[in-house]
């Protein structure tokens, strides 16, 4: 097993990885920017190294600083977490060439699956249904119009290297193509340094379903699906498992097809294959070659520690689990708690947490890095923690989550706790009568 792992991340995911390492008996190195010196992940790690200033490009996105930290501390592996450099093929390649194990798939697979156009081709070659649209980079507004007229409006112009709603534009009629095509390319270049875009048919009322996989040289298994359809501007707010809208026949087919593709491409590690689901049909969306923010939903349902399995596969090249080891139990819901003000268009709410009382109780889990007196800075993602509750069924899971949210007290900053209460009490959420565009239509904030 590895002797020392450097966590190339911060916040709650860094804390989560440190905990898994400690249970494996592996020493940990936390890296931090100048404003994160007193953070929870720094306090919990065995060692810590300051890698730069608060600007991400000078610290958490600075490959040279991270590799220097590896050299100084003698770490023999790097866990990238999610975000930052977690899906950066160059980082994975440099790490490997330095004789350091990158805990994730190969640089080649990260590059292939990170390119949305290439990923669509791979999915199609492996029998997964893809959304109707272009299979190559679209180079001009005229080309975009031809494709859009063929598949019918509305359409989506999407960044090939994108995610999180960046470089994504909905086009409802031909007259909008030229302007929105240019805007999408500019955004794609700004956020991903790659202005390639492609066209997809736009689904008006889809659900967002994803499948968690673990894969080694010996086998690939799934850990069932998650429903991540409660979203705002393509950002997930609430996730649950199992999905309350798909039946066993559809679920079985989806899981079987996903495992087949992941195995065929030679994937190693933890990964997630995401789908759009509408009118009883699934369509491949993308594959995330990293741990997901929402992985605790699956961990609680299955009793499997996905981070520890990631580390095991990275070290051994194989997974020790079999599909028979995956026995989901009950229903699980996760709420992402952000330091944001919903009444002010989700404006970030940095500051010092003066009071922090976190809920506990039966089948209630918190993944976070907050504590009384900690400082929430404006420089990074506003996610501060995740609250996960399990019930014997969906009704009990909702009730338990509402109880836990009532116990959650954070003062000094504004959070999304009250918004989550409103959503979970809404009749459409209770009856699971919603889609990814639901929150934009309701007056929650």
**Active site residue ranges:** 290
Which tokens sit at 387? 């609250």
Peptide bond into 242 cis (omega under 30): yes
Spatial distance between the Cα atoms of 206 and 252, rounded to a whole number of angstroms: 20
HEC secondary structure over the chain: CCCEEEECCCHHHHHHHHHHHHHHCCEEEEEEEHHHCCCHHHHHCCEEEEEECCCHHHCCCCHHHHHHHHHHHCCCEEECCCCCCCCCHHHHHHHHHCCCEECCCCHHHHHHHHCHHHHHHHHHHCCCCECCECCCCCCCHHHHHHHHHHHCCCEEEEECCCCCCCCEEEECCHHHHHHHHHHHHHHHHHHHCCCCEEEEECCCCCEEEEEEEEECCCCEEEEEEEEEEEEECCEEEEEEECCCCCCHHHHHHHHHHHHHHHHHCCCCEEEEEEEEEECCEEEEEEEECCCCCCHHHHHHHHCCCHHHHHHHHHHHCCCCCCHHHCCCCCEEEEEEEECEEHHHCCEECCEECCEEECCCCCCEEEEECCCCCCEECCCCCCEEEEEEEEECCHHHHHHHHHHHHHHCEEECCCCCHHHHHHHHHCHHHHCCCCCCCHHHHCCCC
Contacts of 235 (CB under 8 A, 6+ apart): 164, 165
Distance between CA atoms of 224 and 242, rounded to whole angstroms?
Answer: 8
């Amino acid at each position: 097993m590895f002797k020392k792992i450097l966590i190339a991340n911060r916040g709650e995911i860094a804390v989560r990885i440190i905990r898994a390492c400690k249970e494996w008996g592996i020493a940990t190195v936390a890296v931090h920017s100048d404003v994160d010196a007193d953070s929870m992940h720094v306090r919990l790690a065995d060692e810590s190294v300051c890698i730069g200033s608060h600007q991400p490009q000078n610290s958490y996105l600075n490959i040279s600083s991270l590799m220097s930290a590896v050299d100084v501390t003698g770490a023999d592996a790097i866990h990238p977490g999610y975000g930052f450099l977690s899906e950066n093929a160059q980082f994975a390649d440099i790490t490997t060439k330095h004789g350091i194990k990158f805990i994730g798939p190969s640089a080649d697979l990260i590059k292939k699956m990170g390119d949305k156009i290439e990923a669509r081709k791979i999915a199609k070659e492996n029998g997964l249904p893809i959304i109707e649209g272009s299979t190559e980079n679209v180079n001009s507004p005229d080309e975009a119009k031809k494709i859009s007229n063929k598949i019918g409006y509305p359409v989506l112009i999407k960044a090939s290297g994108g995610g999180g709603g960046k470089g994504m534009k909905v086009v409802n009629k031909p007259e909008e193509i030229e302007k929105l095509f240019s805007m999408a390319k500019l955004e794609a270049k700004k956020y991903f340094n790659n202005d390639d875009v492609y066209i997809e048919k736009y689904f008006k009322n889809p659900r967002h379903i994803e499948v968690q996989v673990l894969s080694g040289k010996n086998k690939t298994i799934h850990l069932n699906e998650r429903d991540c359809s409660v979203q705002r501007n393509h950002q997930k707010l609430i996730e649950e498992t199992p999905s309350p809208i798909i039946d066993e026949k559809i679920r079985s087919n989806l899981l079987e097809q996903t495992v087949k593709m992941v195995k065929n491409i030679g994937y190693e590690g933890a990964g997630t294959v995401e789908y759009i689901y509408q009118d009883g049909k699934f369509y491949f969306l993308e594959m995330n070659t990293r741990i997901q923010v929402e992985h605790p939903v699956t961990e609680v349902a299955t009793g499997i520690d996905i981070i520890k399995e990631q580390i095991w596969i990275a070290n051994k090249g194989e997974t020790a689990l079999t599909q028979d080891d995956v026995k989901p139990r009950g229903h699980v819901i996760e709420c992402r708690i952000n330091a944001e003000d919903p009444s002010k268009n989700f404006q970030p709410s940095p500051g010092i947490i003066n009071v922090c009382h976190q809920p506990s109780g039966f089948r209630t889990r918190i993944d976070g890095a907050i504590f009384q007196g900690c400082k929430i800075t404006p420089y990074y993602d506003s996610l501060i923690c995740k609250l996960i509750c399990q019930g014997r069924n969906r009704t009990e899971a909702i009730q338990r989550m509402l109880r836990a949210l009532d116990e959650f007290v954070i003062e000094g900053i504004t959070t999304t706790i009250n918004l989550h209460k409103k959503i979970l009490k809404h009749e459409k959420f209770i009856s699971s009568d919603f889609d990814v565009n639901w929150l934009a239509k309701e007056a929650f904030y």
